[in-house]
Structure 1
Amino acid sequence: MNPLLDRAYGCLIATAIGDALGMPASFMSISQIKQEYSKITDFVTPSREQVAHSSIVAGGITDDTQESLIVSSVLKEAGKFDTELFILKMKEWAVKYNILESTVIGPSTRLFLETIISGGNYLEAGKKGDTNGAAMRVAPIGIFHHHDFELAIQDAIASALPSHGSKPGVASACAIAAAVSKAIEGKSLPSEIMVAAILGAIRGEESGYDIPSPSVAARIHLAMEIVDRNQDKPLEEICLLLYKYIGAGMKSYESIPLSLGVFYAAKGSVTDGLIAVVNLGDDADTNGAIVGSLCGAYSGASTINKSWIEKIEKVNSINFKEIAQDLLKTCS
């Protein structure tokens, strides 16, 4: 496998791995995770205490990965991010799988889906969306535009505005798209990828609807500072500090700075980063998916536990390598 494909494939498969590893711990506290699972180091069946994803089997993906696959299909079919095609595919997905009757989606995505199904004005409905749904699905845009940072930012903005159009919502999508775009190229240090994320967040904050919220860009910078000041500590301790100062919830200004901080602290290691972030709990599946996107784009599929890859692709019947090839082929 050539290095570019290795990183693109790594980004997509690690998104799904992080999603599935974090799924059983979603919206649990650190102490609840310890009580129910001791420590999550592999795919596990959700316990009875798991309310959001109780029906998913070990290794199963959630809406985080499913929506990123929708974005991938839009890029493949349109040769760019096409808003109308994205809306059509999201509507078809929601209707086919009765998503509005499920507990898996966040509030901003729920309002977006309700609006497009009813034929309402999604841009108006989505302008206050401030959760992490746009960021969790945006990695394919970073892969697709690995050769062009500016196009990655532009398409990230376009992908966020319909559902997560607030300053933090757009900023978070731009931060992850920018970071993935930089990482996929394979020429950057983790610190340089973090700087790209900050620049992306700043651009996103300029494009989003103004709501009362902390700055995503400032919080990514804070995450870097926390990691840099505590490099002598074990990864688990650093990540606990990130959690204490930033949080791990679904709000964009928690989830995205935390996930980038874990990527930075783990130095791009898929295994280390994912185990660290999912055991923090709260929005564990989405944070796992985002950390997976970042670490997979940086380190590549060749560094990932082969049994994890086999489990994910078998349980979910998805060929992520083929999707990565399609994204790279279409963008060229």
Structure 2
Amino acid sequence: MLDKAYGSLIATAIGDAMGMPASFMSPTQIKRVYGKITDFLPPDEAQTAHNAVEAGGITDDTQESLIISSVLIEAGRFDTELFVEKMRHWANEYKMLDSTVIGPSTRKFLKVILSGGDYLEAGKQGDTNGAAMRVAPIGIFNHGNMEKAIEDAVSSALPSHGSRAGVATACAIAAAIAKSVEGKCSTREVMEAAIYGAQVGEQRGFDQPAPSVAARIRLAMELVDRHRNKPITEICENLYDYIGAGMKCYESVPLSLGVFHAASGDVTKGILSVINIGDDADTNGAIVGALCGAYSGASTINPDWIAKIESTNAINFKQIAKDLLGSAADVKE
């Protein structure tokens, strides 16, 4: 259990940091600038969103997932008010509104909470992938209890990404992580859990124009299964052609789940495949990392990658995983 929890947290950071230099580039641009990304790189001068981040440095994707972890550890549950307070502190301490790394829905949320406005009202239109990218700790905390993972994912999404699609994608990832950390399942069963989570989430979010997340996850699974005999790079290119890889949650999350399924939950294959697609590469890398790490565990991850992440960012991800599982166990008792 610890191996899977630790795997999910550390692989989130690995995917985030490794995808960072390719963010908002096309596959062709990535090939021209970097060749193929296979390790941690500093951002090229063409990379404007993350040009101040060093090689191996994490971005807001991992930082927000760590905020969710701290809420669960401290409160023993997902506490919305504590989450909002921690996000407010993060925004102030790191001057996030002056940065270029946060997405539009998170930016709007931070502006509202810093000004004392009604964040639930403002969050109704949030349809980017911020809620999904940070939700993995909720899946870890509620491993083996998919319904509770989905319920907490709804609560975590509504303040900033409260649209039907925004809530659905958070629920899809939380359900998939909860299933994976519990173990003894196939990637197909994880995908089915994600579809179920998305279906529930679509009933809980606010109605905004968007395609069905559940239908798109099912499409991603069908595309992967149909082309299983092809190299994973071709499968991922196909997913990109049909679904996209942008920050809209109904692109990012179905794509990331499809890459997870195509990689059979392998961390290295999954992360390297998705980041070289580009577009919202750091977030897609973080989500695929969270999924594959939860499925295959930290013991399957390149130890040099783990060492680079933990030394560069001075974060003990293994201890956080232990604390998450310990807090979850206390609640169950």
Which category describes the TM-score, using the shorter chain as reference length?
over 0.9
State the shift of 1:66 in Å. Answer: 0.1
Q: What amino acid does structure 1 have at the position aligned with 2:153?
A: A
Match of 2:6 among 6, 9, 22: 9
1:93 aligned residue: 90
Q: What amino acid does structure 2 have at the position aligned with 1:70?
A: I
State the shift of 1:84 in Å. Answer: 0.2
Q: What amino acid does structure 2 have at the position aligned with 1:174?
A: C
| Secondary structure, counterpart of 1:127 in structure 2 | helix
2:300 aligned residue: 303
For 2:82 and 2:256, locate their aligned partners in 1 and report how far apart those are by CA, in whole Å. Answer: 29
1:152-187 residue CA offsets vs partner (Å, 9 max, x unmatched): 000000000000000000000000000000000111
State the shift of 1:306 in Å. Answer: 0.3
For 2:36 and 2:144, locate their aligned partners in 1 and report how far apart those are by CA, in whole Å. Answer: 39
Map residues 238-257 of structure 1 onto 2, 5 A cutoff: 238-257=235-254
2:65 aligned residue: 68
1:125 aligned residue: 122
For 1:93 and 1:6, locate their aligned partners in 2 and report how far apart those are by CA, in whole Å. Answer: 28
| Secondary structure, counterpart of 1:172 in structure 2 | helix
1:43 aligned residue: 40
In structure 2, stretches of 5+ residues that fail to align are: none
* Alignment of 1:213 onto 2:221: no
2:99 aligned residue: 102
> Which segments of structure 1 move beyond 4 Å, counting only runs of 4 or more?
none
Q: What amino acid does structure 1 have at the position aligned with 2:245?
A: A
Q: What amino acid does structure 2 have at the position aligned with 1:51?
A: T
In structure 1, stretches of 5+ residues that fail to align are: none
For 1:117 and 1:12, locate their aligned partners in 2 and report how far apart those are by CA, in whole Å. Answer: 28
Count of equivalent residues: 329
1:77 aligned residue: 74
Q: What amino acid does structure 1 have at the position aligned with 2:270?
A: G
* Alignment of 1:182 onto 2:182: no
* Alignment of 1:228 onto 2:210: no
1:196 aligned residue: 193
* Alignment of 1:166 onto 2:163: yes
For 1:170 and 1:188, locate their aligned partners in 2 and report how far apart those are by CA, in whole Å. Answer: 25
* Alignment of 1:156 onto 2:156: no
* Alignment of 1:139 onto 2:163: no
Map residues 278-289 of structure 1 onto 2, 5 A cutoff: 278-289=275-286
For 1:216 and 1:91, locate their aligned partners in 2 and report how far apart those are by CA, in whole Å. Answer: 29
For 1:72 and 1:265, locate their aligned partners in 2 and report how far apart those are by CA, in whole Å. Answer: 28
For 1:202 and 1:326, locate their aligned partners in 2 and report how far apart those are by CA, in whole Å. Answer: 31
1:116-175 residue CA offsets vs partner (Å, 9 max, x unmatched): 000000000000100000000000000000021111000000000000000000000000
For 1:24 and 1:98, locate their aligned partners in 2 and report how far apart those are by CA, in whole Å. Answer: 21
Q: What amino acid does structure 2 have at the position aligned with 1:163?
A: S
1:264 aligned residue: 261
For 1:96 and 1:273, locate their aligned partners in 2 and report how far apart those are by CA, in whole Å. Answer: 33
| Secondary structure, counterpart of 2:125 in structure 1 | coil
What percent identity do the matched residue pairs reach?
A: 70
Q: What amino acid does structure 2 have at the position aligned with 1:197?
A: A
2:323 aligned residue: 326
1:28-66 residue CA offsets vs partner (Å, 9 max, x unmatched): 011110111000000001000001000100000000000
Compute the TM-score of the two structures, normalised by the length of structure 2: 0.99
For 2:184 and 2:143, locate their aligned partners in 1 and report how far apart those are by CA, in whole Å. Answer: 11
| Secondary structure, counterpart of 1:108 in structure 2 | helix
Q: What amino acid does structure 1 have at the position aligned with 2:3?
A: D
1:63-101 residue CA offsets vs partner (Å, 9 max, x unmatched): 000000000000000000000000000000000000000
1:176-227 residue CA offsets vs partner (Å, 9 max, x unmatched): 0000000001111000000000000000000000011101100000000000
Compute the TM-score of the two structures, normalised by the length of structure 1: 0.99
For 1:212 and 1:32, locate their aligned partners in 2 and report how far apart those are by CA, in whole Å. Answer: 31
